[in-house]
Homo-oligomer: A and B are copies of this chain.
Amino acid sequence: MSTPLTPKAERTRNHILDTALTLFRTQGYETTTLRDIAAAAECSLGLTYRYFARKEDLVLVLYSRMVQETNAEIAQLPPVGMAERFQQTMSKRLEQVTPYRDSVLFRSGTITNPTSDVSLFGEAAADMRQQTLEAFVMLVRESRDAPRNALAETLAALLYSLHFGIILFWLIDRSAEQQHSKRLLEFSATLIARFQPLLSLPLVSSSLNQLAAVLRPVFVGES
């Protein structure tokens, strides 16, 4: 897929992908085969293979779409406070993953299993995590109350880690419409705004630097 696709090929590829994602949502990831996808998309199995050699590739393309969408949203955020920019980003992120919540793709632990080919935290998604971290740097830097340079990188890594923490919490949240997760997001934003004036205290900023150094290798990757 290194050479650009023709418009027709691009449409076919997107049609196969959309069909696959519908099947993952409705009948589950594990039980859906490439053959099922080809049949539902009314494509030959050969054509389907040409675009997606493995079922895992479809999931990685889904992640990649989500990452591009999230990063584009971050680029368009208004220059309000950092806490509000984080809250807006996360609200949309939770909306984005909600259709897949009951899918076996999420339920099976695929995304939390770092040895799986389609884990959010595995090797295959490492570049996407790095790209999203860079978007989070923008989220922090272009906020009205952006902190000084070095701390901005730290805060971006912490907010990106918190973003995964909220998604993992949302996965185990059984309340109606995951209301507890929404409350956790609101609370996080309130807390960030409330304690932001303290961030420049040396004891606070050094603690945050240490925490970012611990979380970053797991949530983003070894640098």
Contacts and interface: CB of A to CB of B under 8 A. Distances in A.
A214 B183 contact: yes
Contact of A172 (B121, B169, B180): B121
Contacts of A106: 109
Contact of A180 (B110, B184, B217): B217
A114 B175 CA distance: 11
A175 to B, nearest CB: 7
A115 interface: yes
Nearest to A111: B109
Among A113, A119, A181, the most chain B Cβ lie within 10 Å of the Cβ of A113
A106 to B, nearest CB: 8
Contacts of A116: 107
Contact of A218 (B111, B112, B180): B180
Contacts of A171: 112, 114
A115 B207 contact: no
A115 B107 contact: yes
Integer count of this chain's copies in the complex: 2
Contacts of A196: none
A8 interface: no
Contacts of A114: 171-174
Contacts of A107: 109, 113, 115-116
A168 interface: yes
A181 B219 CA distance: 12
A214 B170 CA distance: 12
B211 A187 contact: yes
A171 B181 CA distance: 21
B109 A169 contact: no
A188 to B, nearest CB: 9
Nearest to A119: B172
12 contacts: A106-B109, A108-B109, A109-B110, A109-B111, A114-B171, A114-B173, A175-B218, A175-B222, A180-B217, A187-B211, A191-B211, A194-B207
- 9 A-B pairs with least C-beta separation: A109-B109, A121-B172, A114-B174, A183-B214, A107-B113, A184-B214, A173-B218, A114-B172, A108-B109
